[in-house]
Structure 1
Amino acid sequence: MKLYRFLTGPDDSAFCHRVTAALNAGWELHGAPVLTFNQETGKTYAGQAVVKDVPGHDYTPDIKLSDY
């Protein structure tokens, strides 16, 4: 089974730590990161897709992706 997650958040060290934690849990980067700027708040937000192969499981919509 292949799992997909899209991590998002303010472009700060906490976001980088979330992506790093996912990589260390076996997730792999999928595509380039994306950035967007919110003019009202003056903040930049980042997003990064990650994927993971999990053998021996069948996909169901109730799977909690963060458990993998």
Structure 2
Amino acid sequence: MTDPTGEPAIPDPAERAALNAALHTDNIETGWWDDQGRPAPWPDDIDQWQPETGETITRRPGEQPF
């Protein structure tokens, strides 16, 4: 939807509420998507995940990290 100038129009409150409900229903907030690119719920085993780390980088004294 665009306004007369061609800019995206801001939906009215009722339309915003409907769009937000659809986002919630589709689990958009999770940040997870299935193999077809559709929004997906959080994985069941998310509480068992561990961060993946690489090798520890040692710096010389006074060396900047970047």
* TM norm structure 1: 0.24
Which gives a bigger RCO, structure 1 or 2 (Cα 8 Å, sep 6+)? 1
* Higher percent of residues as helix: 2
Looking at CA atoms only, which structure, 1 or 2, has the larger radius of gyration?
A: 2
Q: How does the TM-score come out when normalised to structure 2?
A: 0.25
